[in-house]
Structure 1
Amino acid sequence: MSHEKGEIPLPSYEESLSGRPPASGQQIIDQLTNVRARHVREIIDGVVYPRVEEQAIYGIANTTIALIPSDAVAEKPISEFDFGDAKGDGNLELVGFPSDDIVQQVRLKGPLNKTQFWRQPGVVEEFRRTLQGKLATAPFAPVPQHNGPTSPGPASIPEAPTVSKGRGFLRKRQESSARTPSSQDVERAAEAAAAEHPASGLHARVALEEICFRTVSDFGLYETISRPAVVVRIVAGL
């Protein structure tokens, strides 16, 4: 091909590929970080948060969502010979959760939602941090916490110790230690109270768990299978 004088010919496709510098290790890490962060935000904004808002509309404080990876359970094609609930059933029956815990199951789609992605170290924790940051944009008013009583209560009247012959001093020591709780007992009671009554606001708990499904086989028999899923629990402390 002839070119006019002074023109620089455009490189061919092969020449452009060969002349492109290879991506450095840092560029690959940056791409992985950006793709992971963007995908986590898309799942939170498009799947999780709308369900939390819907629960709040109906006055329900807690939300439990099971995000099922795209390759965890293969979708069977609908056949006229399918038995019972297996025909046209998009959701699987979850088993193993408490009866009062309503779990919303979401079957994720696409290559980014495979089990391999969610099993990577740090992905679930990044999901939890991002979700917690999303929930913290509109926190509840903080509830004041008191470390001690605001007003002095009535003075307690000590009980008269029971003295027995030969063991009066030992018995008084045992009764005194039984009535005085240790610092470890106080800490355990405080942790139990905090778990039962969470602090004000919305709190996210995310974990990759093995959950059980009840399905119908090709022969019409019920069977239970276990698959990994990202279980998201939103607890509202009022």
Structure 2
Amino acid sequence: MNVSLWQKEMARRFLTKVMIKGILTTAAFPLFFIAYFWVMHNPAPFAELTVIPLLFVDHWIPVQQWALVPYASLWFYVCLPSSLIWQKQELIEYLLGAVFLCVLGIGIFWLLPTSVPDFGIDWSIYPGLAFLKMADGGANALPSLHAAFAIYTAAFLNKQLRSFDVPAALRVANVLWAVLIVYSTIATRQHVFLDALAGTALGVLAYTPVSKIAGSMSAPATQTLIANPSHAK
């Protein structure tokens, strides 16, 4: 089977400093969850819990246990952009956006704690979702960081895919995956529509200004993680 140029480029980027990227990604997950759950149980002393109201959109979307699959897939999905990074400039850009997203989102949770309403659902009917509710309740609701990371990942990954001319179908699949994750936040009742909307806005905010900031930095775009000029395009 012939291997196309974009497949070779994707493999080369993936294999660039794969150990370093793996360590950074692996370390980021526990740090995020420590902060996330600490804030959930230790809101600001002056803060009062707000229950996010339901809108008509929430009544349109039923509880769907299959939505647990795209919901859980986020933790694989967010690893894709970092695995394809091969330039120092690109790494800085990605980290700036991700850190901005985490700090702002968790900061909002600490200052303005929120939760989803009691849906009055017998979760024993949905065993998979019942487990999710036990592991991660309905607090830290707005903005949905699940939605925020899905949108940020989709935007960053789309730029990467366009840079080495992957087929349009893959770029469409990338967008659809992100949309499905955002949808799943509501279908699993982990979030309501307002949470997902705010999370989407946060994801866009984390990506768009960061591109301009990173572009103004002095590090040349051709400086790769392995400092090999023969790999520059």
> Which TM-score bucket, shorter chain as reference?
under 0.3
Question: Larger radius of gyration, structure 1 or 2?
Answer: 1
Q: Which has the larger share of strand?
A: 1
Provide TM-score, normalisation by structure 1: 0.21
Q: Which has the larger share of helix?
A: 2
Provide TM-score, normalisation by structure 2: 0.21
